[in-house]
Amino acid sequence: MKRSRLVWLSATLVLAAAAVTTGGLVMRNSEEKHGPATAAGRQLQLPLHTNGNRIVDAGGRTVTFTGVNWFGLETNTFAPHGLWSRSLDDMLDQMAAQGFNSVRLPFSNELFDAASKPNGVDYKLNPDLQGLTGPQIMDKVVEGITKRGMMVILDRHRPTSQGQSNLWYTDKVSEERWISDWKMLAKHYRDNPLVVGADLHNEPHGEATWGTGGDKTDWRAAAERAGNAILAENPDWLIVVEGIESYDGDGYWWGGNLQGAAKDPVRLKDQSKLVYSAHDYSPKVWSQRWFTDPAFPANMPALWDKQFGHLVKNNVAPVLMGEFGGRSVAEKDAQGNKDLEGIWQRHLISYMKENGFSYTYWSWNPNSGDTGGVLKDDWKTIDQAKMDLLKSYQSTPTAKKP
């Protein structure tokens, strides 16, 4: 889908993360139905794994990611966006206060190059980020997220800051570099238990195939190679594998087509670490044919079942809706006409809630051109209509901030 869009961990961080995992992370009992958690006092036991279509903790309790994307590290600022307006702590305090239990954190491989210099940060507001490299800022962000009890899913969003790529490798970033950087991160964050997973590559599309064999375009095979290499370094992580764009001539959103996983599932050395992921967007991003179907929105559940929901409904594996979002959540626009984007968002939330999907909303940032964000353009004010919708399907907040 087209959108206009490492210092080592200290003992303090490790102790903070350990305190969170034993003292405040409340999740659902495995017997509860899908939906917001109500089992007060139940504590998360890390690490996470999967059981059928559920993500569960070490005690077998269902864990549902209801999180948000905060982008910027993957761009040429080499830092999360918005730090030109606010401090990191202020931003993360507000994020945690909204009840998100997880953050999908995009990055690019270019972030780890010595020539990649962070910019777009107000160092008067963020004096502790002054002089840090991009990976060191990433460490600070991860530390801040997990100190507040939120989980982190790392997302290899782009090979370089210039833009997304169809495949997991390019002429500038090889498959070997892609895997070696993932291995480095898996080892680097191994002692922080709230860094829980790796989203291997954002939105495979174009010539990306599924289950076709060979090394050049078969995304399923590449995901197996990378996933197993990561698990060799950090066996606790979840391996998040997105779909592709087109399968057997049937096109969908970039990264959203998981039809091939029914016949050719991703095979990991530890299959209990596999989570599939899809992305889904509104007609404001691209006017797909299903939005003009006279049956819309009643046609959407069957479409979602076909593309990715079959994995959940057939108890194959969990699915994380890694990206979805839009500017409107209204049923009608200002002229009183049906608001297709708002209707789509509302129905997708209902579908995920009914079927127990995890999600990370796109995005926290207001500067995503097609979708806007949870924050309004001042980088401070919450879009309350969006937040009210998200809170209709939100897992128990992970922990109180320190």
Alpha-carbon span 155 to 157, nearest angstrom: 5
Q: State how beta strands 319-323 and 358-361 pair.
A: parallel
Q: Cα separation of 187 and 197, whole Å?
A: 12
Note the pLDDT of residue 397: 56
H/E element, 233: helix 219-233
Closest CA to 339 of 293, 300, 392, 282: 282
In whole angstroms, give the CA distance from residue 303 to residue 305.
5
Question: Is 323 designated active site?
Answer: yes
Question: Cα 200–323–246 angle (5° rounding)?
Answer: 70
Q: Is the pLDDT at 167 greater than 80, yes or no? A: yes
Task: Return the pLDDT at 33.
Answer: 34
Kindly state the average pLDDT of the residues 94-115: 98
Tokens linked to 175 = 């498959």
Choosing from 74, 203, 245, 341, which is the catalytic residue? Answer: 203
Residue 299, CB-side half-sphere exposure with 13 Å CA sphere: 9
Tens digit of pLDDT for each residue in 327-377?
999 999 889 999 999 999 999 999 999 999 999 999 999 999 999 999 999
Q: Is 401 exposed, middle or buried (0-12, 13-18, 19+ CB in 10 A)?
A: middle
| pLDDT value of position 43 | 80
Does residue 19 register a pLDDT over 50? Answer: no
User: What count of other Cβ atoms lies within 10 Å of the Cβ of residue 242?
Assistant: 28
pLDDT band at 402 (very low <50, low <70, confident <90, very high): very low
Report how far residue 162's alpha carbon sits from residue 329's, in angstroms, rounded to the nearest whole number: 31
387/366 Cα distance (integer angstroms): 13
Sign of the alpha-carbon torsion through 103, 108, 109, 113: negative
Query: Which is catalytic among the residues 74, 224, 323, 341?
Result: 323
Residue with tokens 């549902």: 64
The predicted pLDDT at position 37 comes to 32
Active site includes 203? yes
402: cis peptide before it, omega within 30°?
no
Sequence-distant (6+) residues with CB within 8 A of 316 are 52, 53, 261, 262, 265, 310
Secondary structure (3-state) at 359: strand
Q: What share of the chain is helix, strand, coil (3-state, %, to 5)?
A: 30, 15, 55
Backbone φ and ψ for 168, nearest 5 degrees, come out as -75, -10
- pLDDT of 166 over the 60 cut: yes
User: In this predicted model, what pLDDT tens digit does every residue of 218-266 receive, in sequence order?
Assistant: 999 999 999 999 999 999 999 999 999 999 999 999 999 999 999 999 9
Q: Minimal CA–CA distance to 316: which of 360, 269, 258, 253?
A: 258
Q: Which two tokens stand for residue 380?
A: 């401070």
Mean pLDDT of 279-286: 95
Residue 127 C-beta-side C-alpha neighbours within 13 Å? 1
Average pLDDT for residues 166-175, to the nearest whole number? Answer: 98
Q: What does the mean pLDDT of the chain come to?
A: 90
- Beta-carbon neighbour count of residue 89 at 10 Å? 16
Residue with token string 């079942």? 305
The type of residue at 112 is: F
